[in-house]
A and B are shown apart, each in its own frame.
Chain A
C-alpha cells in the first residue's frame, strides 16, 4: 500500500490480484489539485498497465471535491485514452453530490466503447 498525504486529501493505492485501486479519502479542495493528485494517479495507471490489472478510482469515501479536481480527473481520463488501462470510477450513489457528477458522465456515454466504466455502490 502506498499512501499520499496531500493536505486535506489522502490517496491510498493498493494492489490486489483483481485490481490496482486508488482510494480517495478526505476532501480535495486545493487551488491546483493537478500538481498533487496527477503524479499518484498516473503512477497507479502505469502499475495497472505493467501488471495488466484494471485500475479503480474509488471515490465512495471522499467527502468533497472542488471543480478544479473534476477538471484534473477529466484530464487524467483523457491522458489514459489509448493506453492499455481499463479504468473504473467507483462512487457512492447515496451521496447526492457524487451521484449528480457521475450521472453527468453516464449522460455523455464516456464509458461506451471506451476504457472507462462507472460503478455505483452504497457505502
Chain B
C-alpha cells in the first residue's frame, strides 16, 4: 500500500506538467484573441497590438510557457487577463464553491444510490427492480439542465420552496448556503443516481447468489442481518469506483448546472477562461482541477484496497 501511494504521488507532478503543456498548446490553436475580448471588436488593430504587447502575447510560445511555468511553481499565479483579479484568489474561490456543491450532492447521492441499488438487487427481475432500474436509466439519460429547469420551475418559481439561484447572499450562513444548493444538488443526484445504483445492483445480485450468503441463510441469519452484514458490505466495493468517477464529474463537470443555477464554480470559470483565452486563469484552473482528479483517483484506489483484502494482499481475483 505504501509503495502504491508513493508511486502514485510521485507521478502527480509529471502528470500536471503534461496537463499544463497540453492546455498551453491547445490555447494556442483556439481561435480568437484575448486583446479583442478585453477591448471589444471596435478597438483598432493598433490598440489591440498595444495590449498584446503589454500582456507579452507576442513573445514566442516556449518563452511564454517557460515564463508562466517558473512563475506558477514559484507561487506567482499571475492576474486574470480579462477580469484583472489575482488568479490564485479567483481559482480557489471558485474551487471552494464547486467543492461545497460537489460534497453536498455526493452526501445526498451515496445513501440514496446504495438504497436503490440494494433494493433493486434484492428484488432483481421483479417489478420493483424494473421500476427502479428504468427510472434510474431514464434520469441518467435526461440532461441535467432539463431536470434542473423542471425542478426550478416547480419548486422555486411555482411553489417557492427553494431559491432559484444556487448563490446565497455574501456572508450567508452554511445552512442558508446549503438551502440554495438543494435544487442543483438534486439535479446532479438524479443524473448520477442510475449509474451508481446500477453498479450496486449488479454486485448485490452477485452477492445474493454467493455461497457466503447461502451459508448465512442456512445458518438461519435474519434477512436484515444478511443484507447489512454481507450483501451491503460486499456491494459497496464495486460501487466505490463508480462513486469515484461521479465525484470527479461532480467537481469539474458541472458547467451546465453551474450556469443554469447561476453558481460561480470552477467549471464555469474554466469554460469562460477557455473561450476568452485567459491563459493564466485557464492554466491555473486546469491544473488545480487536474490535481483534484488525481487525488480522487488515488483516494478511490486506496479505499478500494482497504475494502477488498484480496487487492490489498495481492490475491488474484
Are A and B genuine complex partners? no
Residues of A within 8 A of B (CB): none
Residues of B within 8 A of A (CB): none
